[in-house]
């Protein structure tokens, strides 16, 4: 019985190590996720087969916990990747568009778009974890100068000034 538990814990450690190594070495998603899950399932089967009352080392609890951890770690990573807001830090963005006359503005926050009429000097503040923030503003008078400024946590990250229309955006990583 003890050999099955040792094999179960060994496979669990190998699954967790391959998962960590795959993440660090940027292996393909399938290799990073499938290999640890398969090893974890095999480790769980071995832990179940070795569940007898024998007082062998490692204990039953260790074998079950290690195999469950080998299965759950990739699953939690999948959830973190699918839901970017789970681990992504949030930043405060302030978007200011200035024009002597009202302009039509499209605000981009990640994949979301919001359109609104913008009066002179209006400012909007977003608490966002989106990687793309921006504005596209245009006026009906092609000679009217429009300026745009985006601040991230108080630091200017993008600024633009043009006549007629302006496109001002910040893409995280292009700092």
Cα dihedral across residues 146, 137, 139, 123: positive or negative = negative
More confident residue, 3 or 175: 3
Longest Cα–Cα distance in the chain: 86
Exposed / middle / buried, residue 145 (Cβ in 10 Å: 0-12, 13-18, 19+)? middle
Per residue in 110-158, pLDDT (tens digit) is 888 888 888 876 788 888 878 888 889 888 888 888 888 888 888 888 8
Spatial separation of the C-alpha atoms in residues 69 and 64, rounded to whole Å: 9
Burial 88-104 (b: 16+ CB within 10 A, else e): eeebebebbbbbeeebe
More confident residue, 101 or 29: 101
Per residue in 42-93, pLDDT (tens digit) is 888 887 877 666 565 566 677 778 788 888 877 777 666 666 555 556 778 8
pTM: 0.49
Domain map (residue ranges) of the chain? 2-82, 91-171
């Amino acid at each position: 019985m003890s050999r099955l538990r040792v094999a179960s814990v060994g496979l669990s450690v190998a699954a967790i190590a391959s998962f960590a190594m795959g993440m660090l070495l940027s292996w393909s998603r399938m290799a990073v996720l499938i290999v640890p899950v398969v090893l974890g399932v095999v480790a769980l089967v071995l832990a179940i087969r070795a569940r007898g009352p024998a007082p062998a080392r490692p204990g039953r609890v260790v074998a079950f916990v290690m195999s469950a951890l080998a299965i759950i770690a990739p699953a939690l990573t999948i959830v973190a990747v699918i839901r970017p807001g789970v681990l992504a830090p949030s930043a405060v963005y302030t978007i200011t568009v200035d024009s002597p006359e009202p302009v039509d503005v499209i605000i981009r926050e990640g994949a979301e778009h919001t359109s609104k009429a913008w009066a002179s000097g209006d400012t909007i503040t977003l608490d966002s974890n989106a990687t793309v923030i921006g504005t596209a503003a245009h006026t009906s008078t092609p000679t009217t100068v429009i300026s745009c400024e985006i601040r991230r946590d108080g630091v200017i990250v993008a600024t633009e000034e043009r006549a007629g229309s302006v496109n001002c955006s910040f893409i995280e990583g292009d700092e």
